């Protein structure tokens, strides 16, 4: 799961998908930027996840690295900017083939960072629907 800062959207996506799959599935998240490396998820993401009985407070922000292309079978991005950053980073066509938008029809999950609390609720609901689809596909 990839977003810009790895503190708002992708930590939620990681927690939601993990909640729908067994521990046999290794799920992680990362940011394309390193502004928040080592930090906990945004408190608004922690709060909305907790409301839905998901604990994401054990996560820490990290930056996407090249080895992620080797470790993961699927790389889900939140928006078109993340998509372009990760595609630009890819070493070959095999890397590129792993990168998908998390929403159908290549829609963007809006960045809630500068918005209010209900932005996070909205993002949660979008990601929950997307993760239902992904868990069924997997």
Query: 3-class DSSP state for residue 6?
Result: coil
- The whole-angstrom separation of Cα 122 and Cα 120 is 5
Residues between 95 and 124 with contacts to ligand 4NP, criterion CB under 6 A: 111, 113
Q: Clarify whether 50 is annotated catalytic.
A: no
Residues between 16 and 35 with contacts to ligand 4NP, criterion CB under 6 A: 35
**CB-CB contact of 77 with 88 (8 Å):** no
Q: Clarify whether 44 is annotated catalytic.
A: no
Q: How many CB atoms sit inside 10 A of residue 99's CB?
A: 19
Which of 42, 68, 79, 111 does the annotation list as catalytic?
111
CB of 34 to ligand 4NP, least distance (A): 10
Q: Which sequence positions are flagged as catalytic?
A: 3, 9, 111
What are the residues binding ligand 4NP (CB under 6 A)?
Answer: 3-9, 35, 111, 113
């Amino acid at each position: 799961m990839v977003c810009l800062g790895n503190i708002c959207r992708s930590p939620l996506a990681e927690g939601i998908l993990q909640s729908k799959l067994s521990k046999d599935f290794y799920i992680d998240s990362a940011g394309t930027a390193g502004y928040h490396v080592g930090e906990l998820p945004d408190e608004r993401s922690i709060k909305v996840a907790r409301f839905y009985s998901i604990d994401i407070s054990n996560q820490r922000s990290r930056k996407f690295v090249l080895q992620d292309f080797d470790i993961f079978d699927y790389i889900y991005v939140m928006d078109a900017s993340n998509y372009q950053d990760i595609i630009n980073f890819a070493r070959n066509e095999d890397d590129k083939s792993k990168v998908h938008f998390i929403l159908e029809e290549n829609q963007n999950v809006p960045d809630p960072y500068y918005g209010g609390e209900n932005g996070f609720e909205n993002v949660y609901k979008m990601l929950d629907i997307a993760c239902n689809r992904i868990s069924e596909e997997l």
